Amino acid sequence: MVIEILSNLVSMLLYIVPILYFLPFKLRHFQKAILFLLIFFNILLIKYLSGNIGAILLLFTVCTYISLIHSERLLSICTVVGSYLFCVVLDNLLSVLMQALGISIDWIKQNQLIYLTVFLILQNILCPPISYALKRFLKKVKLNFPPKLMIMILTNLFSCLMIFLFNIVIGEYIGYTTKILAFNCILFSCYFIFSTYLIVNMIQAYMDKAQMELREDSYQKLQLYTTQIEQMYSSLRSFKHDYFNVMLSMSGYIDAEDM
């Protein structure tokens, strides 16, 4: 009973740790407490009632809550979905690695708390550098994404998510074997890497376009400034010419003593 409770608590931490690391903003203690309860409740549903298909409800409730507490709703949803995909890929990689070391699936099931603890330690090793790189990247692009770009990124993440969930549910139905785990690991890793590469390219293309528009705008402003300077210079020349003519006429009258 104690081991089962600990397993549920560790499972909850496995979902929440990447979210807390990857979110572009910090949650207050009260907000973290609500998030803990949401994830813990969904973990219980997945384990005792709905199975892995309950991950859809988990993601829906967490995405809804995160989007309600921050103005960057699309970015928050992308972060939650990306965190879940990261967990799925890491889970499969760890399972395949442990089997490669001679640890069977049955042993993993019987010693789930040990497996989950190793998983949690691995998460806390990998998440900080990934989070640092991600936040530096977001800071570089300054989060000025248009809604269309964010929707495209979110659509790509959800497509990836549907493939992951489909394979997870089918694997649960037919039973996880070494071959299935290896296949899922390769599939998830390749698709996750491809999706990440695609998203980065989309963001890079947007940044290049934004920089080009900025340079074009700067050039147009420079052209306008140059035109205004030329007009001012032309007006100044005209004034100098008129002034010189007036002074020349006055000088003539003065020389002729015609006051």
Which is nearest to 48 in space by CA: 11, 99, 81?
11
pLDDT band at 192, cuts 50/70/90? Answer: low
The region of weakest confidence among 1-5, 132-136, 138-142, 178-182 is 178-182
Would you state the structure tokens that stand for residue 204, as one six-digit string?
Answer: 């890079």
In sequence order, the 6+-apart residues with CB closer than 8 A to the CB of 168 are 52, 55, 88, 184
Q: What pLDDT sits at residue 21?
A: 87
Give the mean model confidence (pLDDT) for residues 48-59.
75
E strand or H helix at 40? helix 29-45
CB atoms within 10 A of CB 54: 17
Give the whole-angstrom CA distance, residue 133 versus residue 97.
25
**Between residues 138 and 221, the one the model is more confident about:** 221
Residue 200: pLDDT over 60: yes
- Model confidence at 40: pLDDT above 80: yes
Give the model's pLDDT for residue 174.
Answer: 59
Cα Rg for the chain, rounded, in angstroms? 32
C-alpha 62/C-alpha 69 separation (Å) is 11
For position 141, what pLDDT does the model report? 63
pLDDT at 213: 79
Note whether 195 and 160 are within 8 A (CB).
yes
Q: Tell me the pLDDT tens digit for each residue of 108-148.
A: 777 788 888 888 898 889 888 888 887 777 776 655 566 66
What is the C-alpha to C-alpha distance for residues 168 and 178, in angstroms, rounded to an integer? 14
User: CB burial class (10 A; 0-12, 13-18, 19+) of residue 175?
Assistant: exposed
Confidence tier at 25 by pLDDT (50, 70, 90): confident
In this structure, of 43-47, 67-71, 207-211, 229-233, the range with the lowest mean pLDDT score is 207-211
Question: How crowded is the C-beta side of 189, counted as CA atoms within 13 Å?
Answer: 12
What are 43's two structure tokens?
């973990």
pLDDT of residue 154: 72
pLDDT at 176: 57
Gap between the Cα atoms of 204 and 36, Å rounded: 35
Spatial CB neighbours of 179, under 8 Å, sequence gap ≥ 6: none
Helix, coil or strand: residue 104: coil
Check pLDDT > 80 for residue 222.
yes
Whether residue 214 is predicted with pLDDT greater than 70 in this model: the reply is: yes
Q: Any idea how long the chain is?
A: 259
In this prediction, residue 38 carries a pLDDT of 86
Q: What is the pLDDT of residue 169?
A: 63
Question: Could you please report the per-residue DSSP string of 159-184?
Answer: HHHHHHHHHHHHHHHH---HHHHHHH
* pLDDT given for residue 170 in this prediction: 64
Across 77-81, 127-131, 155-159, 176-180, least confident range = 176-180
Q: What percent of the chain has pLDDT over 90?
A: 0
The pLDDT of residue 50 is above 80: no
- pLDDT class for 182, splitting at 50, 70, 90? low
> Where residue 55 falls among pLDDT bands split at 50, 70, 90?
confident
Q: Which has more confidence, 120 or 100?
A: 120
**pLDDT exceeds 80 at position 74:** no
